[in-house]
Structure 1
C-alpha cells in the first residue's frame, strides 16, 4: 500500500482528517462537525472526499480508521452522516459502541 500521511485539523467545532501521498498534490479529506458538549459531544462525519487521482488506494478507509482510533482514544462517539462512513460501520459491527 502507498505511504499515506494523515493529519487531523481541529477548528473549534469542526475539523477534518487530511490524507496525502508522496506522488500527488491531491488531498483526500474526511470532514466532521461537533454536536453537543462535554461527554455528550458527538462528531458528525459529514463527507469523505477522495480526488480521482487518489482513488483505489484505500485512502478513504484509512481516513475512517483515523477517526475510529481517535474516538477510541478520546472517548467521543460518531454519527456517520457520510454514506461511506455509514457503510464502514455496517461492515464493522465491533465499532457499534462508537456510533451515536
Structure 2
C-alpha cells in the first residue's frame, strides 16, 4: 500500500521577512531574514517537530537561497543551520559573504 502523497511548497513572505515551507498548505517551518542593502541576512531557521526528519529544512534553505540568487542579492549566514547548509553546498559560495561583528551589531539592532 502506498503512502498518501503530500504537496510541499516554499513561499517568500515579504511582510514577515521570512520564507515558509508548507506541507499540504500547513506551515511546517520557516527561515527568517533581514535585508541589509543587497545582502539577505539569515538569522533563524526552524522546522516544526511534527515535520522533523523529512528533509524539509534543507529543501527550505535550498529554495530560499535559490531565490536570493535569482533576485541578485547576496547571502550572510548568521543562522547556524544556513551556515551548515552552505558548507555542504559550495554552489552558493560566489554569493555568500562572511558574518562580521558589524553585521551582528546591525542585526541585533534590527531585532531589538
Give TM-score scaled by structure 1 length.
0.83
Aligned length: 93
Higher CA-based Rg: 2
Residue 34 of structure 1 contacts residue 43 of structure 1 at CA under 8 Å; is this kept in 2?
A: yes
DSSP-derived class of the 2:17 partner: strand
Structure 1 residue ranges without an equivalent (≥5): none
Runs of 4+ aligned structure 1 residues displaced above 6 Å come to none
Q: Which has the higher helix share?
A: 2
Structure 2 residue ranges without an equivalent (≥5): 98-112
Bigger RCO (CA 8 Å, 6+ sep): 1
Name the Cα RMSD after superposition.
Answer: 1.9
DSSP-derived class of the 1:57 partner: coil
Give TM-score scaled by structure 2 length.
0.74
Instruction: Write the deviation string for residues 18-64 of structure 1: whole angstroms up to 9, x where unpaired.
Output: 11212x8453000000012xxxx100011101110010111111111
